[in-house]
Amino acid sequence: MHFSKKCSVFKVVLSALLIVALLQLLYLSFLSKLHGKQQRYKYSELFGSKKTANQGEKNPRREHLRYSLSTGGIFDGSGQYRVYKNLIKSDFLTNQKPGADPRSHHLALATHTTINNLHHLNALLERWQNPLSIAIFANGQDVKFATAFVYALSIFCPQVQALVDFHLVCLSGEMASFPDQDREHFAGMEEKGCSGIFAKLESHRDRYKNYAIGSNVSYPNNLLRNVARSGTDAAYILVIDIDMIPSANLHHQFVTMLMRHEPAADEVLVLPAFEIRHTRKMPATKSELVQLYQVGEVRPFYDELCPRCQAPTNYSQWVNLAIKSSGPLEVAYTINWADPWEPFYIGARSVPLYDESFRQYGFNRISQACELHVAGYRFSVVSNAFVVHKGFKVQGEFHSRKDEENRKNRILFRSFKESLKAKYPTSPRHC
């Protein structure tokens, strides 16, 4: 009798457990279907399917893109490139709560790329969760793909939607159009979402080396930098390459510094630049960076290709400074610019733009640093922040025309320096 009661209780408990398990399976199935339905709705929104449930509602993001494209963009100063500024706008400013600290938008990151390297945006956003302005250069078929990709990213990736402004630059003879016919390239995205878009971008990586886009196509790096800079409303801007990552908490450190004092009008804040072995994880703090630096896994940026290009940063002095990864940005020392230093820095919007005559490889960033020097700027190196390039820069990884382009831009740099004498006639400085 006692055994029979135990058996009955066991059956009741087992039945209850089975019911709970069944309910959990039903709940998970419901969530999965709900997620799939949401993603399919996003997919229909992406291309404006006529079968969209809310057929009468307009998608503001899609309408903005259509309007931006309908303008036909604007030509750059040379007339050789067409610029679509703010092709996709982030929701950052519209999502700011009333009374929010305006300093939250005081620093933005600006960068440039082709589709070839757009996949780096994923890693960049993992570290930099603040306003970001990206200028993309596309040529030929890539104009269509770039338009579709950035639109898809803005639909499927909440962080991209919240933080990233996209701008598109192409040759003046080409025009971008709304990706109505490109839905086949995004088949299955309703299930994979944001990760699926970045996986697609991964398939476009390494199709060509650096600037080797085409025999008659020049990558307008300085035009792109200027487009990205002018495409943000931030008071201060950090311009880096898309395959570089800033140290953690940089934005917070900068805003904290602003609460105490602002940089002088003629001052830029230099972030020492490093490169790290491909197999290593990106350091977040100075202490992590210094540990890797001491064992040779991290080294100064361009250490093998052009050690003089970063030498004025004075890495040995910087590494030996007291490590303060927390707290506001602090200036460690101020140094004079010396040719051919090309530092990465935080500067105000009023900092001179990049000279857009420089394209392809060579002298594009040096020329702008040279102008800052002649214009009277001082370069203040911060003690507790940095930027890191993923992978060592080594000989042989560049495209075949690199040396030819460098020689051409060296000649251009000489004439550029002469033009600065006319632009700043009272300056005692020269490059």
Q: What is the pLDDT of residue 211?
A: 62
In this predicted structure, the answer to whether residue 36 has a pLDDT above a threshold of 50 is: no
In this predicted structure, the answer to whether residue 218 has a pLDDT above a threshold of 50 is: yes
Reported confidence tier of residue 16, pLDDT bands at 50, 70, 90: low
Looking at residue 4, its amino acid is: S
Q: What is the pLDDT of residue 24?
A: 64
303 Cβ contact partners less than 8 Å away, ≥ 6 residues apart? 275, 310, 392, 393
Q: What is the pLDDT of residue 401?
A: 80
Parallel, antiparallel or unpaired: strands 81-88 and 164-171: antiparallel
28 Cβ contact partners less than 8 Å away, ≥ 6 residues apart? none
- Rounded to an integer, the average pLDDT of 55-75 is 85
Residue 321's nearest CA partner among 329, 311, 333 is 333
Residue ranges of the domains in the chain?
60-204, 244-423
For residue 16, count CB atoms less than 10 angstroms from its CB and return exposed for 0-12, middle for 13-18, buried for 19 or more.
Answer: exposed
Q: Is 406 helix (H, G, I), strand (E, B) or coil?
A: helix
138 Cβ contact partners less than 8 Å away, ≥ 6 residues apart? 114, 115, 145, 146, 147, 168, 169, 170, 176
Q: What is the pLDDT of residue 53?
A: 39
Calpha distance 139→223 (Å, rounded): 15
Residue 426, CA atoms < 13 Å, CB-side half-sphere: 0
Calpha distance 130→142 (Å, rounded): 27
- Rounded to an integer, the average pLDDT of 33-61 is 51
Q: What is the pLDDT of residue 35?
A: 44
Our CA dihedral for 68, 72, 78, 79, rounded to 10 degrees, sits at 180
- Paired tokens of 335: 């140094």
What count of other Cβ atoms lies within 10 Å of the Cβ of residue 39? 17
CA distances from 58 to 52, 55, 139, 163, 425 (A): 11, 8, 30, 22, 55
SS3 content of the chain, % helix, strand, coil (to 5): 45, 15, 40
CA distances from 138 to 65, 82, 222, 384 (A): 17, 10, 15, 36
Calpha distance 104→188 (Å, rounded): 37
Calpha distance 77→79 (Å, rounded): 6
Give the least confident one: 54-58, 86-90, 186-190, 357-361.
Answer: 54-58
Question: DSSP letters of 129-165?
Answer: -S-EEEEEE--THHHHHHHHHHHHHHHH-HHHHHHEE
For the chain, the average pLDDT equals 86
- Rounded to an integer, the average pLDDT of 386-411 is 87
For residue 359, count CB atoms less than 10 angstroms from its CB and return exposed for 0-12, middle for 13-18, buried for 19 or more.
Answer: buried
167 Cβ contact partners less than 8 Å away, ≥ 6 residues apart? 83, 84, 85, 86, 87, 133, 134, 135, 136, 227, 228, 231
Q: What is the pLDDT of residue 92?
A: 86
In this predicted structure, the answer to whether residue 27 has a pLDDT above a threshold of 60 is: no
Q: What is the pLDDT of residue 105?
A: 65
Between 201 and 166, name the one with better pLDDT.
166
Q: What is the pLDDT of residue 183?
A: 63
Residue 130's nearest CA partner among 155, 150, 160, 154 is 160
Question: DSSP letters of 223-281?
Answer: HHHHHHHHT---SEEEE--TTEEEPTTHHHHHHHHHHH-PPPTTEEEEE-EEEE-TTSP
Calpha distance 368→351 (Å, rounded): 10
- Paired tokens of 397: 């990884």
In this predicted structure, the answer to whether residue 40 has a pLDDT above a threshold of 50 is: no
What count of other Cβ atoms lies within 10 Å of the Cβ of residue 140? 13
- Rounded to an integer, the average pLDDT of 92-105 is 62
